[in-house]
Amino acid sequence: MSYPVPAVSSPLAAGPSSGAGAAAPVRVPESIAMADLSKPHRIEVEVQERCHGNRQKSFATEIDVSQTEHGFYEAMMSSIGAVVGFFGSIPCCIICPNPYRQVNQGTVGLVSRFGKCERIVDPGLVKINLVTDSIEHVDIKTKILDIPRQYVLTKDNVGVNIDSVLYFKIVDPYVATYLVQNVTTAVVERTQTTLRQIFGTRNLQECIEHRDSIAHEIERIIAAPARDWGVEVEAILIKDLQLPAEIVESLAAAAKQKRIGESKVIAAEAEVQAAQLMRKASDILSTQAAMQIRYLETLQTMAKNANSRVIFVPLSADNGMMQNMQFQEMQGGGMVVPPMPRVSQ
């Protein structure tokens, strides 16, 4: 947008002033901030729209009533209501009622004239004709509704009690008010019917393991008819599945047996590994040198015992010991004296 900038004697001031009546912020290019403003200029500025965040969506609309014909009685009543409303809008008038009605945040108002909806108004003060008009408030906030507990049968004929919760909101106040008798009851009944249908096509194990996917499928099925009723289904959550006591005991027993089987498998694998290690050890200890070492260790252990006893050394073992000591003497160059058996009377 192009705006003429008047001549000023001081540099460009800061951004727009703040306050309740402040205009939308204006972004000025940096090149303009350092320009010579002693003469008029034509510059391009960008007007930014204020961010309203998650404010309530506007539903304000006028219903087409151009073809509605009012007779003399309707026109007379409208005129009387207009006169009464005029005097009632004066603060000091205590005789005539105030024609303004308040619509709270989170709701919208449906204004009807002679029983026919003429317009939808947003939150705030709304002026109506006190004689001919009436206003109905419709809550458009997200509603949290606990679905009554229901008993369903799964595909494998197991009965379960299901607790669920439904999140929904009204997105078309006109349809939800005038085209459906009770939109909340309609959504609940549709949800219960769909829930029983979906759980009846799955086994108990699938219902327990895929609870979230079942909830999403139910939400997808009821979304289309709910939209026709002026309602948007935001989410469906399955809070709890209550199983019969005998089913709970059987599931617990099955889990226990599974854990026992896993422990047996682990123990068997450990025994196999231990047997393999023992076989390797026996292969290593079956050599002649290993047998001699174990023989000497046994003699030393017996010699340290306080009780004296006679030890008879086999000739073959003594020859092996002598050969081993001779070999150590040749390698070390010293005299090695083997431990002699102790003989006591």
Residues 164 and 191 in one domain: yes
Domain count, the chain: 3
CB atoms within 10 A of CB 207: 23
pLDDT at 206: 86
Residue 334 is assigned to a structural domain of this protein: no
* CATH code for the domain of 168: 3.30.479.30
Identify the domain boundary among 139, 160, 179. 139
Residue 113 is assigned to a structural domain of this protein: yes
Residues 6 or more apart in contact with residue 143 via CB below 8 angstroms: 167, 168, 169, 184
Rg (CA), the chain: 48
Residues 111 and 202 in one domain: no
Residues 192 and 161 in one domain: yes
CA distances from 307 to 125, 179, 232, 310 (A): 113, 109, 96, 10
At 283, the amino acid letter reads D
What string of pLDDT tens digits covers the 345 residues of the chain?
A: 444 444 444 444 444 444 444 444 445 455 544 555 555 555 454 444 444 556 778 888 888 666 666 788 888 888 898 898 888 888 888 888 889 999 999 999 999 998 888 899 999 999 999 899 999 999 999 999 998 888 888 888 888 889 999 999 999 999 999 999 999 999 999 999 999 999 988 888 888 888 889 999 999 999 999 999 999 999 999 988 888 777 666 666 677 677 778 788 888 888 888 888 877 777 776 677 677 777 777 777 777 766 656 665 555 555 555 555 555 555 554 444 445 444 444
Range of the domain at 111: 74-139
Residues 194 and 171 in one domain: yes
Residues 122 and 190 in one domain: no
Residue 115 is assigned to a structural domain of this protein: yes
Residue 153 is assigned to a structural domain of this protein: yes
The span from the CA of 8 to the CA of 77, in Å, is 60
pTM higher than the cut 0.85: no
Residues 216 and 268 in one domain: no
Name beta bridge partners: 162: 150, 241
The span from the CA of 164 to the CA of 241, in Å, is 9
